[in-house]
A = this chain, B = another copy of it.
Amino acid sequence: MSEVRQGGRPRDEQVDRAIERAARELLAERGYAGFTVDGVAARAGVGKAAIYRRFPTKQELIYTVAIHGGSGEPPPDHGSLAEDLGAVCGTLATQLAAAPPGVYTGLLADLYGSSGLAARFSEVFLAQQRAVLEEVLNRAVARGELAQEPDPLVLHALVVGPLFVWLFVLGGPPEDVGKLVDTVVSGALAVLR
């Protein structure tokens, strides 16, 4: 028995990797709208059942391969709120800009249709971002840079909002997102202080 199970694992992991690689490739080529489970199955050389056993919906598969929440760890302490916040926003901008075309807007639209996905998006992806912002605010309070900790949800909106709409709504040049990060941090600091 033990041998069978040990023999099964590497094969399962191979299938895992083949599915995820095929999904990443298909997403990069076709974007969110052109992504299908059939296409992933054909490219990975597996049956659709093997995919649905691992990912109950197409959206769960896309989320897994395309949305990277980072380590979830706050940045090293740079000694100032301005630098900590700059590091956090720089990471956020990189994460958002790295997603294949249409992934964030597509997933966002499909969140309502899948309570599991909505929960994971909110409780993992967004909650991790918020925890990082809270840690950075706590450090600033401990340093005496801020008199009291502001609402992390407001800070979250102030920093992620402009980056999100720049990339996915307003059609801002992606190469200028770094300059926007500096502006966003300046505006947030002015409000926090």
Q: Which residues of A contact B (CB under 8 A)?
A: 31-33, 101-102, 105-106, 108-113, 122, 126, 153-154, 156-158, 160-166, 168-172, 180, 183-184, 186-188, 190-191
Contact = CB atoms under 8 A, between A and B. Distances in A.
A15 to B, nearest CB: 30
Contact of A170 (B126, B172, B186): B126
15 contacts: A101-B112, A102-B109, A105-B108, A106-B109, A108-B108, A108-B169, A154-B180, A154-B183, A157-B163, A157-B172, A160-B165, A161-B161, A164-B165, A183-B191, A187-B191
Contacts of A108: 105, 108-109, 168-169
A184 B191 CA distance: 8
B31 A112 contact: yes
Contacts of A31: 112
A110 to B, nearest CB: 8
A142 B42 CA distance: 62
Given A154-B180, A186-B190, 19 more contacts: A33-B112, A101-B112, A102-B109, A105-B105, A106-B109, A108-B109, A109-B109, A109-B110, A122-B171, A153-B170, A156-B165, A156-B170, A157-B161, A157-B165, A157-B170, A160-B165, A160-B170, A161-B163, A187-B190
